[in-house]
Structure 1
Amino acid sequence: MTQTKTRGLKGVSGLASGLAALAEVTGQATHRQVDIGKIHVDPHFNPRGRYDPDAFNEDRLAALSSSVRAEGLLSPLWVRIRPAGGYTLIAGERRLRAALLVDLRQVPVLVFEADDRRAAYLAVLENAQREDLSIVDETFAGFALLCAHTGLSVPEVISVLNQVRKGADDTLGLEAFLRGTYGTGVSVWSQHRARILDFTPEELAAVQERQIDVSVAYELVPLKGRVEERRHLLRQAAADGLNATQVRALVRPLLSSGRRGLKAEISELRGALPRLARLKGEPADRARRLIQELQALLAES
């Protein structure tokens, strides 16, 4: 096993504008060649796997496996020392799975000194710096990275972004952080990227597979709670190649008809509210976002 010290991670492929943030968190890492059987996977440190259940299916790994078979792993896996022995994977699970499929015995790794919080931050930061990210991948990774950077939940991050956009002091330095990492600022992330978190799984898949443009999916978000109508419009948009303006024209009358029954919907919702307290995980986070949106809407009225 060979190893070299890499201070500040200079020369590590896949990093661009986020290099300074990465170096600040990690300080230094060690490059090694290790037995692949010594690497253990913790699913909590895979940002993509949290929202893309098909990220590791065999079809999607086939092309990567072919590349690994021909050239080996060109980018090291990111790991940390495992107290029970071996290493725990921080980032690079798709590459690890591809290496296992082609029976690689040794793989290159970067070993970080990191606790759970730093490891989670590193996992998201590595994911965020890949050049092939779709806007969906980038958005989910970006909000996870913002949570790690600020210590706030996703709804709290969105609330702070909106406050900064409206003129509040940017005490957390979010504008500089976003521009340094993604090249876009608070306005984009509060008004556009936050709406991607409200896409349905079908809409996320349609955007990632380029069946529709992300601007089309934005127009479907106001149809919250109207699952069948929203799904029907998504299929129509994909089949007919509709643009955002065309979809907006189809959504508008549906929203108008919904307003006429608002009192009835409020009455129905009132009876269901006690069930909100039983939600956990992402459903609970989504409920908090919806409550914050409703409170903001009432405050503006």
Structure 2
Amino acid sequence: MTQTKARGLPHVSGLATGLAALTELTDKAVHRLVDIQQVHVNPDFNPRGRFDPDAFNEDRLAALSSSIRAEGILSPLWVRARPDGGYALIAGERRWRAAQLADLKKVPVLVFEADDRRAAYLAVLENAQREDLSIVDETFAGFALLSAHTGLTVPEVIGRLNQVRKGAEDTLELEAFLRGTYGTGVSVWSQHRARILEFTPEELSAIQERRIDVSVVYELVPLKAREERSVLLQRAVQDGLNATQTRELVRPLLARQTVSGLKAEVSELRSTLPRLARLKGDAAERARQLIRELQNLIEHE
């Protein structure tokens, strides 16, 4: 009997997606009140710290600490047991840091049975459900979640999303997964959210800081020159430009970019043309057809 390798996370396979998965997972966790010193953070594990560079800003932590001091921790930290009797944090690092600032001695936790891979999945899933996610946070978290869910790399996920959008069979149930988790489907994530991964750090910061709308930055993506993008971004921020106004500024730059790119391709082709004479049979006939097409294109310019 031939065995097939399961994709994604075997520990959570078969679960419903999104909120349903979150509910099922937390129902299986054990609720405890533990000493805060027993909870340990793995460096760079928290997805929020990776997607939101301002997540652990001192002012934001101070505000959260003040709230925790007044009302306690309303949402338990997600942890898993460690061999030494302590707990490794899965999700909730901001609450854990703020609780320390508030001098809390004990914190509520949900204890999960999880290996490294499942813990990573849980961390991204927990962050994906937060109500205060910006579109940038949500996008980076969403692709990390899709990668964990499918076992594919992010570029492979994007490729599969595009295939499904064009009519390929959705064997990984990506549409259902995205609808259940975010309320949007394959089309949005393949055509719009994937473009956010192409934003420059400067553009991402402008969106995170609410100095510009994401729709404006979408218009900058086709430009290859980072300097041009940076200049236009600054102008869009300063002048409060919308997407339509930005598109009008980008259009002539794109036209120049196309001409410049064509010149480079012509130059490269010129150096390889002598090799056409070596072609034989069907390849030679195809080359003749292409030459005739090029001649016709040039004559009717």
TM-score (structure 1 length as normaliser): 0.79
Instruction: Please give the alpha-carbon distance, in whole angstroms, between the structure 2 residues aligned to 1:130 and 1:265.
Output: 47
Partner-residue secondary structure (3-state), 1:79: strand
Instruction: Please give the alpha-carbon distance, in whole angstroms, between the structure 2 residues aligned to 1:204 and 1:63.
Output: 24
Structure 1 residue 241 corresponds to structure 2 residue 240: yes
Note the C-alpha offset of 1:115: 0.7
Per-residue CA shift, 1:57-80, capped at 9, x if unaligned? 202222212111111111000000
Conserved 8 A contact 1:26-1:114? no
Partner-residue secondary structure (3-state), 1:31: strand
Instruction: Please give the alpha-carbon distance, in whole angstroms, between the structure 2 residues aligned to 1:100 and 1:111.
Output: 20
Instruction: Please give the alpha-carbon distance, in whole angstroms, between the structure 2 residues aligned to 1:51 and 1:251.
Output: 28
Note the C-alpha offset of 1:26: 6.6
Conserved 8 A contact 2:51-2:141? no
Instruction: Please give the alpha-carbon distance, in whole angstroms, between the structure 1 residues aligned to 2:24 and 2:102.
Output: 35
Question: Relative to structure 1, is the Cα distance of residues 253 and 37 closer, same or farther in structure 2, using a 3 angstrom cutoff?
Answer: same
Structure 1 residue 108 corresponds to structure 2 residue 108: yes
Alignment of 1:120-159 (within 5 A): 120-159=120-159
- Number of the residue aligned with 1:295: none
Structure 1 residue 68 corresponds to structure 2 residue 71: no
TM-score (structure 2 length as normaliser): 0.79
Instruction: Please give the alpha-carbon distance, in whole angstroms, between the structure 2 residues aligned to 1:108 and 1:26.
Output: 14
Of residues 42-51 and 104-113 in structure 1, the stretch that sits farther from structure 2 once superposed is: 42-51
Structure 1 residue 260 corresponds to structure 2 residue 278: no
Partner-residue secondary structure (3-state), 2:184: coil
Root-mean-square deviation over aligned CA pairs: 2.0
Instruction: Please give the alpha-carbon distance, in whole angstroms, between the structure 1 residues aligned to 2:148 and 2:191.
Output: 21
Structure 1: runs of 5+ lacking an equivalent: 1-16, 270-301
Partner-residue secondary structure (3-state), 2:78: strand
Q: Which amino acid aligns with 2:260?
A: G
Question: Relative to structure 1, is the Cα distance of residues 108 and 18 closer, same or farther in structure 2, using a 3 angstrom cutoff?
Answer: same
Instruction: Please give the alpha-carbon distance, in whole angstroms, between the structure 2 residues aligned to 1:139 and 1:50.
Output: 12
Structure 1 residue 195 corresponds to structure 2 residue 191: no
Q: What fraction of aligned residue pairs are identical, expressed as a percent? A: 77
Alignment of 1:67-86 (within 5 A): 67-86=67-86
- Number of the residue aligned with 1:285: none
Whichever of the two has the greater Rg, that structure is: 2
Alignment of 1:24-103 (within 5 A): 28-103=28-103
Per-residue CA shift, 1:46-66, capped at 9, x if unaligned? 112123322212022222121
